[in-house]
């Protein structure tokens, strides 16, 4: 790639790594740097990134700090949860779903500010480099992409710290550094590295940042009610909430009851296996509730077809194809199924468990007269014989031929 770059929009957290990248971009590319810091509910103050950017020579008009929590949940998390997406049977895609939004805003800011390049701090080993860059290119095929971790020789912590010291980049110390690589947003927090690189080693209890352990969760269950409209949760215990408020409240409930912890080995898109631990408290509650309300509002084949396409949909998100045409196609089909997914789900939260105890909807397809074990006048059980014989016909033909 040509090193001729005039302006670059950097996904900037304000931390040490992206501050080093900021300075490296200025030196290596001799270009104007625009910083973009997104608040997607990571639980840390984002405003200090402004002062840090100014300290490193960024002009005020080139510093973008935005609260994207509502957009994140409304336009990314909720659509994904309408599909009941789970990657490889367990992962609720907390990191994966945040990257498209950040990429989108970087490209939009680049257009607004006349920048010809974007940059991120993802390493050359992980999935995030793919997610960011597929997002950039899906929205602007001509944008230049700078991935410092694939270009520089600062490939150790010692070299990074030395670079920071040589260039006057503050190295903030807030006690003992966590041994884990962590990523957080309003949907989840993830942990990688450290002892987790041994898939046989149990993580320490002190690793978990959000939730109490199930053992230490309250000894009494807590009942909640979630109301759904068009496949999205709209009220909690009768209180109408915005998407971000909803996920925030569910996170608090999940954390209180030790809900949403998982420890998995996943297959990265780049080809390696990776062990990670995740806390997704509110998302775990939402997934259980959504499947419960769908169970009475979706037709059997509609529900089964959704379950069949879900792994494909989840894989697209995991691999970074949020803006791809096939993801949009699947989303349109999923959203069509959600028009009648309306009603209320009652849940019991207890020591790491989310237990469905009731569901009701004015559009319910559940017919008590048809399924009762008591006497009824709407279903002739004799009809089942012909149904079975017709479905068994090919088995009968094959059985007689093989006899």
Q: What DSSP string runs through 228-280?
A: EETTEEEEETTEE--HHHHHHHHHHHHHHTT--EEEEEEE-TTS-EEEEEEE-
Find the mean pLDDT for residues 135-143: 98
pLDDT of 186 over the 60 cut: yes
Residue 173: band (very low, low, confident or very high) from pLDDT cuts 50, 70, 90: low
Task: Please give the pLDDT value at position 376.
Answer: 66
pLDDT of 175 over the 70 cut: no
Q: What is the pLDDT of residues 215-225, one digit of tens each?
A: 999 999 999 99
Q: Quote the percentage of the chain above a pLDDT of 70.
A: 96
Task: Please give the pLDDT value at position 359.
Answer: 98
- 8 Å CB contact between 367 and 357: no
**Weakest-pLDDT range from 40-54, 216-230, 353-367, 371-385:** 371-385
Looking at the annotation, which residues are catalytic?
A: 17, 99, 128, 181
Look at residues 245, 242, 345 and name the one whose alpha carbon lies nearest to residue 286.
345
Question: Cα(27)–Cα(11) distance, rounded to whole angstroms?
Answer: 17
Question: Cα(330)–Cα(53) distance, rounded to whole angstroms?
Answer: 40
Task: Please give the pLDDT value at position 396.
Answer: 94
pLDDT of 2 over the 80 cut: no
pLDDT of 205 over the 90 cut: yes
Residues 6+ apart with CB under 8 A from 356: 288, 289, 292, 345, 346, 347, 348
Residues facing 151 on adjacent strands: none
- 8 Å CB contact between 318 and 91: yes
Q: What is the pLDDT of residues 20-63, one digit of tens each?
A: 999 999 999 999 999 999 999 999 889 999 999 999 999 999 99
Task: Please give the pLDDT value at position 170.
Answer: 81
pLDDT of 1 over the 60 cut: no
Find the mean pLDDT for residues 255-272: 96
Neighbours of 185 (CB within 10 A): 27
- 8 Å CB contact between 327 and 313: yes
Token readout for 48 is 């200090």
Using CA atoms, how far residue 6 sits from 115, 119, 144, 175, 370, in Å, is: 7, 13, 11, 39, 70
Residue 380: band (very low, low, confident or very high) from pLDDT cuts 50, 70, 90: confident
Task: Please give the pLDDT value at position 183.
Answer: 93
Find the mean pLDDT for residues 272-294: 97
Q: What is the mean pLDDT of the chain?
A: 94
Using CA atoms, how far residue 228 sits from 207, 235, 252, in Å, is: 34, 7, 19
Q: Directed axis angle between helix 128-139 and helix 300-319, to 10°?
A: 100
Q: Quote the percentage of the chain above a pLDDT of 90.
A: 86
Question: Cα(62)–Cα(284) distance, rounded to whole angstroms?
Answer: 38
Question: Cα(52)–Cα(43) distance, rounded to whole angstroms?
Answer: 18
Task: Please give the pLDDT value at position 11.
Answer: 97
Residue 369: band (very low, low, confident or very high) from pLDDT cuts 50, 70, 90: confident
Residue 119: band (very low, low, confident or very high) from pLDDT cuts 50, 70, 90: very high
- 8 Å CB contact between 118 and 9: yes
Degrees to nearest 5, angle at CA 128 with 125 and 130: 85
Q: What is the pLDDT of residues 314-325, one digit of tens each?
A: 999 999 999 999
C-alpha dihedral, 68 to 70 to 71 to 73, nearest 10°: 110
Residues 6+ apart with CB under 8 A from 120: 10, 11, 128, 129, 132, 133, 147
Find the mean pLDDT for residues 95-124: 97
**Weakest-pLDDT range from 121-125, 142-146, 348-352:** 121-125
Residue 374: band (very low, low, confident or very high) from pLDDT cuts 50, 70, 90: low
């Amino acid at each position: 790639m040509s090193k001729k770059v005039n302006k670059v929009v950097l996904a900037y957290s304000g931390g040490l790594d992206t501050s080093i990248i900021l300075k490296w971009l200025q030196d290596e590319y001799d270009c104007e740097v625009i910083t973009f810091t997104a608040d997607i509910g990571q639980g840390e103050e984002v405003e200090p990134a402004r002062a840090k950017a100014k300290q490193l020579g960024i002009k005020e008009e080139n510093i973008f700090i935005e609260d994207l929590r509502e957009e994140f949940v409304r336009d990314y998390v909720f659509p994904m949860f309408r599909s009941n997406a789970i990657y490889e049977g367990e992962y609720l895609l907390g990191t994966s779903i945040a990257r498209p939004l950040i990429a989108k805003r970087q490209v939009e800011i680049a257009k607004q500010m006349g920048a010809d390049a974007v940059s991120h701090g993802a390493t050359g080993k992980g999935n995030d480099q793919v997610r960011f860059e597929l997002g950039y290119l899906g929205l602007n095929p001509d944008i230049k992409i700078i991935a410092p971790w694939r270009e520089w020789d600062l490939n150790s912590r010692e070299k990074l710290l030395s670079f920071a010291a040589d260039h006057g980049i503050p190295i903030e110390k807030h006690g003992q550094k966590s041994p884990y690589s962590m990523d957080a947003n309003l949907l989840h927090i993830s942990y990688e590295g450290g002892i987790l690189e041994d898939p046989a080693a149990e993580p320490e209890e002190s690793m978990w940042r959000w939730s109490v352990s199930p053992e230490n969760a309250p000894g009494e269950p807590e009942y909640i009610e979630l109301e759904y409209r068009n496949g999205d949760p709209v009220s909690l215990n009768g209180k109408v909430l915005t998407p971000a408020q909803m996920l925030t409240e569910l996170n608090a409930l999940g954390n209180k009851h030790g809900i949403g912890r998982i420890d998995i080995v996943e297959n990265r898109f780049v080809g390696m296996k990776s062990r990670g631990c995740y806390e997704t408290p509110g998302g775990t509650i939402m997934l259980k509730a959504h499947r419960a309300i769908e169970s009475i509002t979706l037709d059997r084949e509609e529900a089964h077809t959704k379950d069949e396409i879900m792994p494909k949909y989840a894989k697209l998100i995991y691999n970074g194809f949020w803006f791809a045409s096939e993801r949009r196609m699947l989303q349109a089909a999923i959203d069509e199924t959600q028009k009648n997914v309306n009603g209320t789900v009652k849940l019991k939260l207890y020591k790491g468990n989310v237990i469905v105890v009731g569901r009701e909807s004015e559009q319910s397809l559940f017919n008590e007269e048809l399924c009762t074990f008591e006497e009824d006048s709407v279903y002739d059980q004799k009809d089942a014989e012909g149904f079975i014989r017709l479905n068994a016909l090919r088995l009968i033909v094959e059985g007689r031929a093989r006899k």
